[in-house]
Amino acid sequence: MQSIDFANRIEKIRARMEESGLDVMVATKLGSRHYLAGAMMPWRSAVVIPRKGEVFVTTTSIDSERVAYDSWIKNMRPWELALRGPSMAEVVAEIVSECGLSSGVVGLETDDLTVNEHHELSRRLNASLEDASSLVDSVMLIKEPAEIERMRRAAEVCDLAAEAVIKFIRPGVMETEIAGVVEQVTRSAGSQWNWAVTGGTEVGSGYRQSFPKGWSQPATTKRVQRGDIVTIDIHPLIDLYCGDLAFNVCVGKPSEEQRKLEAVWKEAINTMLQNMKPGVVIGDAARRTRKVIKAAGLDEFASSLLGHGLATDSRMPPVVSEVNEMTFEENMFVELVVNITVPRVGGLRTESMVMIDKNGPDLLTRTPLELICVDP
């Protein structure tokens, strides 16, 4: 894969800092620090970027040598996890002071900081602490060629795992066994980490995947039964870039109600795909898609989230919902989401990786957007 120009990324950040009047940017969100440092930092960490001068990274001392080896940033300042300090916030304050900016304007990702961290920075710095939560996100929004290459590979890995699981599912297998197949395939294909907030591959079958507006389904030892719909959600990480694919498998013949649900679900997916074009207001696309679901009387069972950003994290712009007035842009990555769960009928969820190109949506994941039937 082509290399990433991290120095250019820092310059983009600094240009946004100058526009915002920031002397220092402290990036603490997982996606931000992976994007900026190029090293996996699962522990509490920060990348500190002064408007001029050297860039610093801080992570816990038990992981600092490995991060310093993996990252292009060599100014490593570890903080102490096990002993009484220095804490991450203390180390960040020390770095800012050493840069001669302790009385400057410091940008923080305040939607990520703890109350204690913010208090410690306020106490140690005579600086103006500003909310800059969206600054790195804004730079990450439009993807570089090297990022697109990694995202395409992540989508391929998702599809490989889906293909293996579809062949494996049958009555009697446990949800955890299904998750194990996914994780074996993704790891063999080069996945570094299962990045899901649920702690692993999500698998829900039967009643476990049809709670109203239900979403996260950590796998259990429940065994799949004939007539169950099984929802699988796959989360590989390829060179710090997230893959994300959710799909549904019916074990046996779907009921008439399940087929009716599938028809609405597929129409909603197609409506969203038809609207994922440069210049289309995201909120308009969401409203048109929700209109399909509402017309079928299923609004109370559907998630209002119809997509989210994806790259070095999944909790990043753009959020696809009726209240977002941003527009889709070329080379923006969106995780297409349509999730409808009807108790005693079943749930259907897609999470499919889409790149917005100049002509519309480029669907990176190839797993069918339909209810897949096995063992009929």
Token look-up 């994941």 returns 365
Note whether 231 and 203 are within 8 A (CB). Answer: yes
User: In whole angstroms, what is the distance from residue 248 CA to residue 255 CA?
Assistant: 14
Angle of helix 256-275 relative to helix 282-295, nearest 10 degrees, comes to 160
The residues, ordered by sequence, that sit 6+ positions from 100 with a Cβ below 8 Å of its Cβ are none
Reported as type and span, the H/E element at residue 352 is strand 346-357
Q: Tell me, yes or no, if the pTM score tops 0.85.
A: yes
308 DSSP β-pair partners:
335
> Helix or strand or coil: residue 283?
helix
DSSP state of 372: E
Domains of the chain: 6-140 (3.40.350.10), 145-374 (3.90.230.10)
Task: Average pLDDT across each block of 10 residues of the chain; the chain has 376 residues. List them in order.
Answer: 96 98 97 97 96 96 96 96 88 96 95 94 96 97 97 98 98 97 98 87 93 84 96 97 97 96 98 98 98 97 96 94 97 97 94 96 98 90
